[in-house]
Amino acid sequence: MKRLQFSRIISPQLLALAGVLLFNWIVFPGFFDVTWKDGRLFGSMIDVINRGAPVAILAIGMTAIIATKGVDLSVGAVMAVAGAVAATFAVAGQPLIVILAAALACGIVCGLWNGALVAYLGIQPFVATLVLMVAGRGVAQLITEGSIVTFSDPALIFVGTGSVLGLPMPAVIAIVLMIIAHIVMRRTAIGLFIEAIGTNLSAANYTGLRSQMLILSIYAFGGFCAAIAGIIAAADIRGADANNAGLWLELDAILAVVIGGTSLLGGRFSIPMSVLGAVIIQAMNTGVLVSGFPPEFNLIVKAGMIIIILVLQSARIAQALGRKFGPRQTSEQTR
Amino acid sequence: MNPRYRPLAATTLIFIIAYALCIFQYPGMWSTRVFGNFLTDNAFLGIAAVGATFVILSGGIDLSVGAIIGLTGVVTAILISWLGLHPLLVFAIVLVLAASFGAGMGAVIHFLQVPPFIVTLAGMFLARGLASVLTQDSIPIDHEFYRTISTLYFKLPGGGRLSFIGMLMLATFVICGLIAHKTRFGSYVYAIGGNATSASLMGVPTGRVTVGIYALSSFLGGLAGIVYSLYTSAGYPLAAVGIELDSIAAVVIGGTLLTGGYGFIFGTLIGVMLQGLVQTYIVFDGTLSSWWTKIAIGFLLFMFILLQKLVFSAHSGRSRLKKGPA
């Protein structure tokens, strides 16, 4: 057991993160400098954690969804909807608790909608969530009436820009959420159920799992995570931008999950690794920025990253190298 | 009537009824002028959606189309405006480039056996990134040839114009319809979409066909990029963001089954036209805001997915649907 955990600690993801950070440190020697100012920490590393938090939070929900062999394309749109709801309630002068409850409830409803389409109507996850991805931004604009709603509620702004024990609030939320989700997945049977569904849905059904209910709640959890990310994104800019909030973040979240080693074919997942994946992505983004390259290189770097991971994860390559790991082949060939 | 054609007939009927209702409310929509603009404004979407139809028929997905439209637009603009090459030569170059880009993605999908979704996602990042690295701004194209093409149109009775790019889209639909339904390649595509394993056991060269499908999709993406550059007379790296999803929506609305193996190219044309109708209706209405377009298209998508479920569970038994989430 101990040896297993040790080999888990020096995973390829950590090596990748170390590599990216090392690169950042070479091109920008002040990268690891952290200073204490006005009761909070400042520095590039802190910035990476802070900026990576929304994607990390999305990745937590996305990991569970991908582990059931699903995918949620609507998280970006749900972020926009939740942000719009939060901003509208803040403008109306509601207390923080009402704002948060409304936005989170909104995210959960979106997630339930996706989950119902996938679990009860049997629509492919890709398509089912596409509906909300297309319509969600329209709904968000409907809520904000097409304009960018700005607010100045200090409590809500604290969620996006405040700090606890020197750490930025978004990072604190992401870490707490990660720990809770990980404990729930690994210390209860839920994680096992999710892996069962992802590996073989009919087998899971035959063992008596209430898989429809479980899939529904997992998508609801995905919507909940997206709503948290949406609130943070809105609080960060003190306004809800229905067009741009969370734009393309669904792809970043999926990428984070894939980097974290969760198989896109379902059945194998790790939430902390996905969060690490999100941090790697953000470290790359920051690295491209501090090294003076134009930010457009980000996309190319990301594409290169995906290609490398695909080659590493590919069953064919693993076979050629005679290794035992890599995605299970049988599930792929009978797809 | 052959039950095979029922979903297609349903989609067509819904389009006709929707158009009739629109005309009932705004008689002005019954003109060749509106219809001509329909074709012109949706030409690039239509061409991209044809590519998406092939990919979806084979049971795959292509998320890179929008990015390829942006990239080919930018490359076309750079080659014409900065290097002064003749547009026709440039078109040939970018189409070959686009097709080989797609062939590369197809090869990765087949030989590394990775889900198409993630490969084309990487392709999307790569193409968008390359386009943004090449230029950040919109590059105008000012060439004699472009002006000539924009003056090429048929006058329809009633003052409408069937523009060159509109005709190009219709030609793409006809040619690709023939490829899909009348050639060996087309039947291979259907076979792979129906069941890849049995297709390869029956001797379908799955590798070659998969590469061909994604090459064709990217080729049509390149063609759509050229059409987009003709339409806007410019190349812009952020052009056609989100078109991949619009084209998938068009394919689904057109009655093609997302699990692959069933569908018609003609259905996609109806899907594109229906999306165009929603936009035109919102323009005619004037009081509705543009975000209603998104909601309406999302709603349409949902309705058609439901319709597919009902039709297929009604007449092909439940065995098809037992595949579960793929």
* Residue A265 structural domain: 43-276
Check residue B314 and give its pLDDT: 64
- Given a cut of 90, whether residue B50 has pLDDT beyond it is yes
* Residue B152 structural domain: 3-314
| A127/B112 Cβ within 8 A | no
Indicate whether A304 and A269 sit together in one domain.
no
Give the closest residue to B187 by CA, choosing from B54, B27, B19, B47: B54
Residue A91 lies in a domain: yes
The total number of structural domains in chain B stands at: 1
The C-alpha R_g of chain A, in whole angstroms, comes to 20
Residue B150 lies in a domain: yes
Residue B196 lies in a domain: yes
Check residue B99 and give its pLDDT: 95
Q: Which stretch of A16-20, A144-148, A179-183, B2-6 has the lowest confidence by average pLDDT?
A: B2-6
Whether the predicted model's global pTM rises above the 0.90 cut: no
Indicate whether A49 and A110 sit together in one domain.
yes
Report residue A101 CA to chain centroid gap: 20
Specify the length of chain A in residues: 335
Residue B263 lies in a domain: yes
Residue B322 lies in a domain: no
| B125/A310 Cβ within 8 A | no
Indicate whether A215 and A306 sit together in one domain.
no
Contacts A124 to B, Cβ<8 Å: 258-259, 325-326
Residue A10 lies in a domain: no
- Report the distance separating Cα B46 and Cα A4, nearest Å: 53
Give residue B101's pLDDT band: very low, low, confident or very high (50, 70, 90).
very high
Residue B321 lies in a domain: no
| Cβ partners under 8 Å of residue B263, min gap 6 | B53, B56, B57, B251, B254, B255, B256, B257
Minimal-distance CA residue of chain A relative to B104? A307
Minimal-distance CA residue of chain A relative to B306? A121
Indicate whether A223 and A270 sit together in one domain.
yes
- Given a cut of 60, whether residue A328 has pLDDT beyond it is no
Residue B19 lies in a domain: yes
Minimum-distance CB partner of A296 among B133, B302, B322: B133
Selection from A27-36, B188-197, B282-291 with the highest mean pLDDT? B188-197
Residue A75 lies in a domain: yes
Q: How far off is chain B from A121, nearest CA to CA, in Å? A: 8
Residue A289 lies in a domain: no
| A142/B295 Cβ within 8 A | yes
- Report the distance separating Cα B326 and Cα B324, nearest Å: 6
Residue A148 lies in a domain: yes
Q: pLDDT tens, A254-312?
A: 888 988 888 777 778 889 999 999 998 888 888 888 777 777 787 788 888 777 777 77
Q: Please give the torsion angle defined by the CA atoms of residues B221, B223, B228 and B233, in that order, rounded to the nearest 10 degrees.
A: 140
Whether the complex's predicted ipTM surpasses the cut of 0.85: no
- Report the distance separating Cα B324 and Cα A125, nearest Å: 10
| B325/A124 Cβ within 8 A | yes
- Report the distance separating Cα B117 and Cα B64, nearest Å: 10
| Percent of chain B scoring above 70 in pLDDT | 95
Q: Please give the torsion angle defined by the CA atoms of residues A74, A213, A59 and A167, in that order, rounded to the nearest 10 degrees.
A: 110
The total number of structural domains in chain A stands at: 2
- Given a cut of 80, whether residue B319 has pLDDT beyond it is no
| Exposure string over A287-303, b if 16+ CB within 10 A, otherwise e | bbbbeeeeebbbbbbbb
| B289/A306 Cβ within 8 A | no
